[in-house]
Amino acid sequence: METKVVKPYKIKESSQKDAAYRKLIKPELADELYDKILTIVIAGKKYRDADFSAQRLAQELDTNPRYLSAVVNSRYGQNYSCLVNEFRIRDAQYMLTDKRYKDMTMEEIGRAVGFMNRQSFYAAFFKYKGMSPHKFRSLYA
């Protein structure tokens, strides 16, 4: 008898779609855009802004969202939302284990790293770490 594993959040496995426009990316332009994405989203910590969408990033970079999406996918191997959430979870891990943030609630930490609500924070955290932020804090703090 096979046991079915039920995940506590509705997490979908990402799948690669073969979009023809991704093959049209010019490597030198993609590299330039890649560097700008790193500067704005990662170094500038824009990922902490819950309202900083791929659309806004594309506007800031003076490109279109589809091209931006293609570059993120080809360079990072994931979509924009996953890229942003990865950095949010890294920040959350740090905050959950640093004594300076021990009095912050899960909701406060989630908002501080850029999640709009507790549910999206918990779902993303579980996807990347395989446990809730609360359990992570109790194990590693």
User: What averages of pLDDT result for each successive group of 10 residues across the chain (141 residues)?
Assistant: 59 55 69 90 94 94 90 89 96 97 96 96 97 96 73
Contact between 92 and 103 under an 8 Å Cβ cutoff? The reply is no
Whole-number pLDDT of residue 26 = 76
Show the tokens assigned to 70.
Answer: 């293609």
pLDDT of residue 101: 96
The pLDDT score that the predictor gives to residue 12 is 57
pLDDT at site 3: 58
Q: Give the Cα separation of 137 and 141 in Å (integer).
A: 5
Query: Tokens representing 107?
Result: 């909701």
Q: In angstroms, rounded to a whole number, what is the distance separating the alpha carbons of residues 106 and 3?
A: 32
| pLDDT attached to residue 28 | 81
What pTM, to 2 d.p., does this model score? 0.80
